[in-house]
Amino acid sequence: MTQNFDLIRLTPEHLDAATKLFDEYRIFYNQESDLARARTFLRERMERDESVLFLSMDGETALGFTQLYPLFSSVSIESLWLLNDLYVATEARKRGVGAALLEHARQFARETGAVGLELSTARDNFPAQRLYEKLGWKRDENFYNYSLDL
């Protein structure tokens, strides 16, 4: 399949396009729409260099994004990246956007000297699980994830 879109790192020029997709992503995870807050969140991550967000663009239209956060492993004494967010607009699915974003994240992690990438997804997000496994991601059966709401 010929890739008919570009992959770019988020810049202020594309913040509005990214904000729309980020809001759709949050709605997918049962959050209320809040474009102003979503824009502020993304702008702050970008300005503070706290995350790396890659966008898939078809001209001026954003098709999907992935957002990575830096992590560090005390055991391996190495850096890695948390692939915290991956989203492809409904109308852009089945075009290879998700796979391209994942491969771009893999390349970026290698270029930055990271030892790996980590992600988690909902147990019932079967399309995402199939894509991850198709691209070589392995499900960790050795650890449980816990969270603490504050």
| 7 neighbors 54 (Cβ within 8 angstroms) | yes
Q: For the segment 111-122, what is each residue's pLDDT rounded down to a tens digit? A: 999 999 999 988
Q: Is the pLDDT of residue 1 over 80?
A: no
Distances (CA, A) of 122 to 28, 69, 85, 126, 128: 11, 19, 12, 8, 9
Q: For the segment 5-48, what is each residue's pLDDT rounded down to a tens digit? A: 999 999 999 999 999 999 999 999 999 999 999 999 999 999 99
| Higher per-residue confidence, 124 vs 32 | 32
pLDDT at 91 (0 to 100): 93
3-state secondary structure the chain: CCCCCEEEECCHHHHHHHHHHHHHHHHHCCCCCCHHHHHHHHHHHHHCCCCEEEEEEECCEEEEEEEEEEEEECCCCEEEEEEEEEEECHHHCCCCHHHHHHHHHHHHHHHCCCCCEECCCCCCCHHHHHHHHHCCCCCCCCCCCCCCCC
pTM: 0.90
